[in-house]
Amino acid sequence: MLTIKLGDITKEKVDAIVNAANTGLRGGGGVDGAIHHAAGPSVMEECGKIGGCPTGQAVITGAGKLKAKKIIHTVGPVWRGGGKREPELLKAAYENSFLLAKKNGVKSIAFPAISTGVYGYPLEEATRIALAAGINFEAEFDEIRYICFSERDLGVYTGIREELRKKRTEGP
């Protein structure tokens, strides 16, 4: 099942939530700041021990005080105009999050809109990559949940899901 909802990812009750982190795993603003604030210091301690995560890769920690059981920290690309392998790296961030989730027995997972905040990735293009990755992994999870932080994002996500569904039923 692939669901899209408006909300705050720190409140989601799923096996794992995904964090839009930076390569140093040092925390920051946006969803990263919100997750660390809500989870408490144990998660930052674990991140410190891991030490870092290259762009497009993912690492996993406990979830501290959150309702979720695990946090998967992935690093999306900074948007630099689209010619610096941004689409490939964003796709890798989603795929490696799914692969790490599977490896850790995660059956339900929630994603924020990785790279579309501070990192400046254009929302519609990022959403196509996010949802296409989800469709590829849909059969391997009980639920893949996309958490939109604004009505605008919610509109884009639902519109693109329809577009991708139509494409699938119409065939190539």
- Binding of ligand AR6 at residue 86 (CB under 6 A)? no
Q: Tell me how far apart the alpha carbons of residues 163 and 172 are, in angstroms, rounded to a whole number.
A: 13
- Binding of ligand AR6 at residue 113 (CB under 6 A)? yes
- Binding of ligand AR6 at residue 17 (CB under 6 A)? no
Looking up tokens 């993912």 gives: 58
Residue 144 backbone phi and psi in degrees, to 5: -115, 115
Helix, strand or coil, per DSSP, at residue 35: helix
Nearest CB to ligand AR6, comparing residues 30 and 62: 30
For helices 41-50 and 30-39, give the axis angle rounded to 10 degrees: 120
Using the rule CB under 6 A, give the single segment among 3-11, 56-64, 95-103, 133-141 that binds ligand AR6. Answer: 3-11
- Binding of ligand AR6 at residue 76 (CB under 6 A)? yes
The answer to whether the CB of 112 falls within 8 A of the CB of 77 is no
Helices (DSSP H) in the chain: which residue ranges? 30-39, 41-50, 86-103, 123-137, 151-170
- Min dist. Cβ of residue 52 to ligand AR6 (A): 12
Judged by CB under 6 A, the residue of 14, 20, 130, 156 near ligand AR6 is 20
Using the rule CB under 6 A, give the single segment among 27-35, 84-92, 132-140, 154-162 that binds ligand AR6. Answer: 27-35
Q: How far is CA 122 from CA 95, 108, 116, 148, in A?
A: 19, 27, 6, 15
Q: Tell me how far apart the alpha carbons of residues 108 and 31 are, in angstroms, rounded to a whole number.
A: 19
- Binding of ligand AR6 at residue 28 (CB under 6 A)? yes
Active site (annotated) includes residue 32: yes
- Binding of ligand AR6 at residue 51 (CB under 6 A)? no
Question: How big is the site for ligand AR6, counted in residues (CB under 6 A)?
Answer: 24
Which residues are part of the catalytic machinery?
Answer: 32
Residues that bind ligand AR6 (CB under 6 A): 8-10, 20-22, 28-32, 34, 76, 112-119, 147, 149, 153
